[in-house]
Amino acid sequence: MSVQFTENVSKAARRDILELQSKIGNFANGEMTDEHFRKYRLARGVYGQRQPGVQMIRIKLPHGRITTAQLVRIADVSDKYATGNLHATTRQDIQLHFVKLGDSPALWSELEDVGITLREACGNTVRNVTGSALAGIDPEEPFDITPYAQAVYEYFLRNPICQEMGRKFKISFSSSERDNAYGYMHDVGLVPRIRDGKRGFKVMLGGGLGAQPYAAETAYEFLEEEKIIPMIEGVIRVFDRYGERTRRHKARMKFLLQDIGLEELVKRVQEEYPALKNKTYEVPDITTAVPADLSQTSGVDPFTLSNAADYQAWLKTNVFEQKQKGWYAVQLRVLLGDMKSDTARQLAQVIKKYAADDIRVTVNQGYLLRFVRPEDLPAIHAELAALGLADPGFDSTADITTCPGTDTCNLAISSSYGITRALEKMMKADFPELIYNNDIKIKISGCMNGCGQHSVANIGFHSSSVKNGALVLPALQVLLGGGFNGKGEGLIGDKVIKVPTKRGPEALRVLLNDFDANAFDGEYYSDYYARQGKNYFYTLLKPLADLKTLSQEDYSDWDHTEQFVTEIGVGECAGVMIDLVATTLTEAEDKLNWAQEALAESRWADAIYHAYNVFITSAKAALMTKEVSTNTQHGIVNDFDKNFIGEGFHTGEGEFKTLVFSISKNEPSEDFARVFVEKADRFLIGIRAYRERQIELEGLPELQELTTAKDS
C-alpha cells in the first residue's frame, strides 16, 4: 500500500516510514536475513504474531498520555488495518493485532498525523517511558512528573546511544513514594522527592522481570532534577558497552548489575560523563491546571440513576478527588485491556462532554479520565455504563492484569485470557466484596517472560505445562508474596507450585479463603505470605497439584475443547542463502551514513556515537571472518585488538581499544566528531578491503541458510 503524508508528519517520521517500506521490500526479496529484519522492524513497533503473515503493532504512548483525537485515530486505523480492537498494555501502550506487514508503513503514517509514533516501541531500545497515570492530580505527589517523563521520552527517541543495545531498556516515573509505576522492576525507576526546597528523584537501577526477576537497587536516595537525564544517558552508555549480547537470557541490565555490583556500575556511569551531550538538562516546569475549556459550569442537568447501588459502588472504587480540590478523576476498568473501536470513539465523545482532553492509559490496562465536576459524576457514570465501562473495582483484587497469551503471542504457552475470565467470574460470584480490596493484586502472564507482570503481584500466575505420562496438560505456575508489603516495599514473588490450569479458580479460592481465615486485621497479603512461609502455601495447594486425580477436562485449555499440546507460533519464513559478513558490513555502512548526516547537521554527539557503532559493527564483521565469536561491545574491541595485530589496522595490542574508547574521554566537540567519524570511515574501508583480499585468496566461504519472509 502506498504511503501518504500530511503536513503534520515530521521529516524524521517520514524518513522512518519510507525506510520501513523499503526494508520490507528488501526482506521480501531475500536481501535481508530474518534476524536483521527482525531487529529492524521491532525497533519500529512491528512485532510478529503467533499467526503467520500478520503482525502486532505496538503504539508508543509516553507515560500513557493520549488525547481524544488520538484515541479516535487509533480506533480508525484499527478498523482499517487490524481487527477493530484496542489492547491496552501494562506498559501504557496500545496494541493492534492481525496487521499485514505491508500495511504497517501506511498505518504508521496515519498515526503520525496526530502525533503518535511506533518508533522504538519494541526491540533492543529504550521502550515506552511509563509514568503514574495519577501524575499531576495525585494528592500525594510532591510535584508533577509528567514533564520529566515526556522529556526523557523525547531525549532518547532516535538517540544513537540506544538504537541497537543487547536488550530492551525500561524507565518509569512514579508520582509518589507509593512507587505506583513499579520503579523497582525497571532498569531505571524514579520516584519524585523534594529536599531543602529543591526537586529531585530517588533513583533505582537494574530491576527486571522475566524468568529471573530482580528488584532494582537504590543508586541515589536523591538526585537533583537537572541531573536525571544525563545520569540515564550514562547508564545506557554503560549497558550498551558492557551488556551481554550473545546469551539473550542474560542480556538485561539486571545481570550486568549483578556481575559488577552497584558501586562499579555507578563508577562506570560517571566515567561516561565527559562524552555526554548534556552535563545537566533542565526540564521546563509545567503545572497541571484546570483546562481552560472546563473552567465554566457545564450546564448538565442532574441525572436520575436507575441503580443507585451500582453508582455508589462505582463512586467508591473508581472515582477519587484530585489534588485540585473540587475536581474528580474517573478510572475505567477494562476487562483484558481490550476495547472495541466503536466503544473507543464513543468514549472520546463522553470525555469531550465531561472531562479534560488528557486521557491516561494505566499500568493495569485501564484508562483514567481527569477534571470531572462532582455534579457530572452521575451523568458520566450512566454514559460509561452504556458503553460497558462502569464496572466497579478498578485496580482491585477483582481487576486482574493479563497479557494476550496464546491468542496472539508466539511465546505464550496457554490461554491468559481464558483463565483471567474464569478467575474474575469466580470472584464475582464467591467474593463480591473484593471490588473494595486494593491491597491484593492478581496478575497473569502467558509465559515466564512476564508481560503480565506476575512476579510483582501479591498473587501471580504464569502459564506453563506439566507431563502426565505420555500426555501434556496446561498448567499455572503459582507465585506468591510479590507486590508491595505493609511498609511500601516492592517485592518479587516466590514460585510456590504448579497446578493444572483448569484448577486455577479453585487454587485462588483456597488462597483467598485461607487469607480471610488466618490473616491479622489490616495485614497485607505479602506480609501474611512472609509470616506463614513458602512451605505453608505449598502444602495448602498441593492437593490441587495431584495428577492422580485428573479429569478429562484438565487436558484442555480455557476457551478450548481440543487436547492441549505445547507449541510455539508458526513462523513466517522461508530459506535463503546469506553472506553474514557482507550483511554486517552493510549495517556498518548504514551507521557511517548516519554519522556523516549528523555531522552535516552539527549534531556532534550523535555523529560520534554513530561512528563508535561503525567501529563496533565493522570489527564484529572482521572477527566473523576468523570465526571468532562475539558478545559484548567491550569484548569485540578487545578481541579485534588481539586478533588483528599486524593485519594493517594497528601494530600493538591496545591501540584499537584506545582509539574506540576515546569516545568516553573526550567532550563531544566538533573537532573530535570530525576526526572520529573520519577514522571510522577509514576503518570500514580497511575492513572491506581485508574481506575482499580474503575472498580473492580463499574464495567465498559457504553461505549460511537463514530465513526471510515468504509472503506478508
The tally of CA atoms less than 13 A away on the side-chain side of residue 707 is: 9
Higher pLDDT, 443 or 583: 443
pLDDT for the residue 294: 64
Q: Is the sign of the CA dihedral 180, 186, 192, 196 positive or negative?
A: positive
What is the average per-residue pLDDT within 213-236? Answer: 97
> What is the total residue count of the chain?
712
569 within some domain: no
pLDDT for the residue 574: 32
Beta bridge pairs of residue 498: 477
Place of cell 495431584: 546
pLDDT for the residue 292: 66
Please tell me whether residues 516 and 597 are part of one structural domain: no
Coil, helix or strand for 83?
A: coil
Please tell me whether residues 373 and 412 are part of one structural domain: no
Q: Which of 55-59, 567-571, 682-686, 706-710 has the lowest mean pLDDT?
A: 706-710
Please tell me whether residues 581 and 705 are part of one structural domain: yes
CA nearest neighbour of 62 among 173, 169, 141 = 173
C-alpha cell at 438: 486494593
5 within some domain: no
pLDDT digits (tens, 9 = 90+) for 413-438: 888 899 999 999 999 999 999 999 99
299 within some domain: yes
pLDDT for the residue 214: 94
Confidence of residue 372 (pLDDT cuts 50, 70, 90): very high
351 within some domain: yes
283 within some domain: no
What is the average per-residue pLDDT within 262-283? Answer: 96
Please tell me whether residues 182 and 270 are part of one structural domain: yes
Question: DSSP for 302-354?
Answer: P---S-HHHHHHHHHHHEEE-SSTT-EEEEE--GGGEEEHHHHHHHHHHHHHH
Domain boundary among 249, 275, 301: 275
What is the average per-residue pLDDT within 561-590? Answer: 66
Please tell me whether residues 249 and 305 are part of one structural domain: no
Q: Which of 402-406, 518-522, 616-620 has the lowest mean pLDDT?
A: 402-406
pLDDT for the residue 706: 40
Judge whether residue 710 has pLDDT over 90: no
pLDDT for the residue 561: 83
What is the average per-residue pLDDT within 495-521? Answer: 96
Please tell me whether residues 382 and 406 are part of one structural domain: no
CB-based burial, 177-212: b 16+ in 10 Å, e otherwise: eebbbbbbbbbbbbbbbeeeeebbbbbbbbbbbbee
Judge whether residue 369 has pLDDT over 80: yes
pLDDT for the residue 286: 73
CA nearest neighbour of 413 among 468, 507, 459, 477 = 477
Domain boundary among 525, 555, 585: 555
Domain boundary among 328, 358, 386: 386
Please tell me whether residues 434 and 539 are part of one structural domain: yes
The CATH number given to whatever domain includes residue 582 is 1.20.120.330
Report the alpha-carbon distance of residue 592 to residue 252 in Å, rounded: 27
Q: What is the number of structural domains in the chain?
A: 5
CA distances to 80, 322, 403 from 394, in Å? 31, 16, 17
Judge whether residue 576 has pLDDT over 60: no
pLDDT for the residue 415: 86
Please tell me whether residues 376 and 418 are part of one structural domain: no
What is the average per-residue pLDDT within 616-640? Answer: 92
The CATH number given to whatever domain includes residue 432 is 3.30.413.10
pLDDT for the residue 251: 87
Report the alpha-carbon distance of residue 228 to residue 334 in Å, rounded: 34
What is the average per-residue pLDDT within 327-336? Answer: 96
Report the alpha-carbon distance of residue 241 to residue 166 in Å, rounded: 9
Please tell me whether residues 542 and 408 are part of one structural domain: yes
Beta bridge pairs of residue 47: 56
pLDDT for the residue 287: 67
What is the average per-residue pLDDT within 304-310? Answer: 73
The residue segments making up the domain with residue 649 are 574-709
Cβ atoms of 479 and 442 closer than 8 Å: no
420 within some domain: yes
Confidence of residue 117 (pLDDT cuts 50, 70, 90): very high
> What's the pTM?
0.90
pLDDT for the residue 631: 87
What is the average per-residue pLDDT within 325-339? Answer: 96
Region for 393 from its dihedrals, namely left if φ exceeds 0, alpha if ψ lies in -120 to 50, beta otherwise: left
Specify the DSSP element, H or E, that contains 111: helix 104-112
337 within some domain: yes
Please tell me whether residues 408 and 535 are part of one structural domain: yes
**Count of CB atoms situated within 10 Å of the CB of 577:** 10
Please tell me whether residues 178 and 315 are part of one structural domain: no
Cβ atoms of 436 and 74 closer than 8 Å: no
What is the average per-residue pLDDT within 378-391? Answer: 96
Please tell me whether residues 143 and 269 are part of one structural domain: yes
Higher pLDDT, 88 or 694: 88
The CATH number given to whatever domain includes residue 306 is 3.90.480.20
150 within some domain: yes
Maximum pairwise Cα distance, the chain: 88
Cβ atoms of 172 and 182 closer than 8 Å: yes
What is the average per-residue pLDDT within 108-137? Answer: 96
Residues 6+ apart with CB under 8 A from 95: 56, 57, 58, 59, 86, 87, 89
